[in-house]
Structure 1
Amino acid sequence: MISQLILVSLMISLATSKSCLAPASYILGSCFTFINTPMSFWEANSYCEYHSNNAWSYLALVESPEQSIWLAKSATMFTSENYWIGVYRPSVIDNFRTILNRYLTFQYFANINPSMNYAVGRKSDGKWETRPEEERFPFVCSYKPSEQTTPST
């Protein structure tokens, strides 16, 4: 019985695949696109929203250390050591949030008390730092992949 459940489970997982639209890359539940055009934080987010190949794109939502490290290792084409991700806080007395205005469930700050309000990832180790929002950096956009079901035979 258990082996039949495992087989059915495997067939379902093979029949359902998550896909990202090119040139995005899939990693641990999200699709990421790297943009090597330096922009301010809010300009970068607008670019993700309006120039992406997906209607639900925004500055990268990083949900785990593995994603953060993968982004850092994949950001080799960036001319800057830092790149914008979708993390900010409205003021220094507030908590950090995602670009979707949700409080963070995961943080990867290099400094325990970040002094500025807008987060960048570091190519060297994937840790986060804060910068003024008007600084210009390349950036990463992200979105959740669509599920495409293929008929099983």
Structure 2
Amino acid sequence: MKSLLLLLFFIAVSSAQNCLSSADRLINKRCFTFVNQQLSYQDARDWCHFRNPVTFSYLATVPDANTANFLASIAHTLFNNNGGYFWIGLSRYNNKFQWDDGTPVSWTNFQLQNSQNYVAESITNAKWTTYPNDNKYNFICSYDPNGSQTGRPTYPPDTSVAPWGTTAETETPPGPTPTGKPR
């Protein structure tokens, strides 16, 4: 397992020139920006959408175990935090989990699912746990290095919708519409 992580690390580092910043890491055709700043889930999501100096991005989509392990391994080093967590782009809306970028959820890695709606990954074992929005963690953004985003929200964020964490049926979910256009 350790050798697989090292191999993934070296592949990602050697491929970093494909990302828009040399500090970003490439895996599975996605670039990941590691942000060593502790924010709430919503503030981290907004940072990825509107403040990322490199490009528009989303909170990280984690499609498989290799990506989860890779992110945890790099985060452990970059965030210098033993036993900590970082936000990823998975959240629960109307009792259904969804990725920030609209990608269908086809794989999960939960260690603990409670009544909270926002998912953070452990840098120790790459397992996921749900937490309240106001917990503050470092976070990881992801983007397509070829520039094909599924839709960029408008700024400032729409404040006419219910705050995240509620179960209002009229609440607008995060991320793009199914057609990829901003909400």
Q: Shorter-chain TM-score: which interval?
A: 0.7 to 0.9
Taking structure 2 as the reference length, the TM-score comes to 0.64
The alignment yields a C-alpha RMSD, in angstroms, of: 2.1
Find the counterpart in structure 2 of residue 45 from structure 1.
45
Find the counterpart in structure 2 of residue 105 from structure 1.
106
Taking structure 1 as the reference length, the TM-score comes to 0.76
Structure number with higher strand proportion: 1
Deviations 1:29-75 (A, max 9, x none): 21001111100001001111122244330100111110000000000
Letter in 1 for 2:135: E
Match of 2:91 among 62, 69, 88: 88
Q: Which runs of 5+ in 1 are unaligned?
A: 1-17, 148-153
In structure 2, C-alpha distance between the alignment counterparts of 1:121 and 1:136, rounded to whole Å: 13
Letter in 2 for 1:82: Y
Q: Which has the larger radius of gyration?
A: 1
Regions of 4+ moved over 6 Å: none
In structure 2, C-alpha distance between the alignment counterparts of 1:27 and 1:101, rounded to whole Å: 19
| Fraction of identical pairs, as percent | 30
Find the counterpart in structure 1 of residue 60 from structure 2.
60
C-alpha displacement of 1:101: 4.3
Q: Number of matched residues? A: 128
Letter in 2 for 1:109: F
Find the counterpart in structure 2 of residue 144 from structure 1.
144
Contact 1:25–1:32 at 8 Å: present in 2 too?
yes
Find the counterpart in structure 2 of residue 129 from structure 1.
129
State the structure with bigger RCO (CA 8 A, min sep 6), 1 or 2: 1
Find the counterpart in structure 1 of residue 120 from structure 2.
120
User: Which range is displaced more, 28-37 or 49-58?
Assistant: 49-58
Q: Which runs of 5+ in 2 are unaligned?
A: 1-16, 148-183
Give the 3-state SS of the residue equivalent to 1:107 in structure 2. coil
Find the counterpart in structure 1 of residue 19 from structure 2.
20
Letter in 1 for 2:51: H
In structure 2, C-alpha distance between the alignment counterparts of 1:116 and 1:102, rounded to whole Å: 21
